[in-house]
């Protein structure tokens, strides 16, 4: 399977996916990394890893998401992309775009969804006093941080955690989880049944 990774920033999950995909029997190849921000640090990391990169700056498109997506769409077609992995990609898509990639677009969120969607999930977890949080890889649907859950990993919350210490612990779990989830999807082992996944 040919995979595009979409980023907006640091790209540590992107790097984890690139590294995993280098293994000889990995069922997916990262063919392009696309950023909506020209200054995303992940772009340099992707180039160093020998992966094609592309910047599609959303700013010139203003509120016209469909126009931004038209450019994105042509890049995905040019690279013959089968699967999209969102990895710290901070833009929402139109319903049309999401539906066109139904069951073929993955996202990672640093909480055990459906708990703590949206911004500052680690702060949300600490304020809620949960003892476990974690990471979730899910298929993307039009509603943010929702959609059929592919894989999750739990991470303990320590009494003295700050958002930053918790984020670092969860991030290490994310780097394990995302490649595992992509592998399952790329091997066609994940079916969606009634909005949930069944893994064979």
Residues assigned a catalytic role: 109
Known binding-site residues equal 11-13, 65, 107
Asked if 49 interacts with ligand GRF (CB under 6 A), we say no
Give me the least distance between CB of 7 and ligand GRF, in Å please. 6
Known binding-site residues for (6R)-10-formyltetrahydrofolate equal 65, 107
Instruction: Say if residues 27 and 47 touch (Cβ distance below 8 Å).
Output: no
Nearer residue to ligand GRF within complex by CB, 74 or 180: 180
Binding mask 87-126 for ligand GRF (x = CB under 6 A): xx-------------------xxx----------------
Give me the least distance between CB of 182 and ligand GRF, in Å please. 13
What are the backbone angles phi and psi of residue 150, rounded to the nearest 5°?
-90, -45
**Which of 66, 83, 67, 116 is CA-nearest to residue 182?**
83
**What is the sign of the dihedral through the CA atoms of 64, 11, 99 and 121?**
negative
Among 4, 13, 43, 106, binds ligand GRF (CB under 6 A): 13
Asked if 36 interacts with ligand GRF (CB under 6 A), we say no
Asked if 134 interacts with ligand GRF (CB under 6 A), we say no
C-alpha separations of 171 from 77, 93, 122, 135 in Å: 31, 24, 11, 8
Report the run of H or E that residue 196 belongs to, with start and end.
Answer: strand 196-199
Contacts of 117 (CB under 8 A, 6+ apart): 109, 111, 144, 145, 146
Asked if 12 interacts with ligand GRF (CB under 6 A), we say yes
Chain contacts with ligand GRF (rule: CB under 6 A): 7, 9-14, 87-88, 108-110, 171, 174
């Amino acid at each position: 399977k040919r995979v595009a990774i979409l980023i907006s920033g640091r790209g540590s999950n992107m790097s984890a996916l690139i590294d995993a995909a280098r293994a000889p029997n990995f069922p997916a190849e990262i063919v392009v990394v696309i950023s909506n921000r020209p200054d995303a640090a992940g772009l340099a990391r992707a180039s160093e890893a020998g992966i094609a990169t592309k910047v599609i700056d959303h700013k010139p498109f203003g509120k016209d998401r469909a126009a931004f997506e038209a450019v994105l769409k042509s890049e995905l077609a040019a690279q013959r992309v089968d699967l999209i992995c969102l990895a710290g990609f901070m833009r929402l898509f139109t319903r049309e775009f999401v539906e066109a990639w139904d069951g073929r677009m993955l996202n990672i969120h640093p909480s055990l969804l459906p708990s703590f969607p949206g911004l500052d999930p680690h702060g949300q977890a600490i304020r809620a006093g949960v003892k476990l949080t974690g990471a979730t890889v899910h298929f993307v649907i039009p509603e943010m941080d929702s959609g059929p859950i592919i894989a999750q990993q739990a991470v303990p919350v320590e009494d003295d955690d700050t958002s930053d210490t918790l984020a670092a612990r969860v991030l290490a779990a994310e780097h394990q989880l995302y490649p595992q989830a992509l592998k399952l999807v790329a091997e066609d082992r994940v079916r969606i049944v009634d909005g949930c996944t069944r893994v064979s």
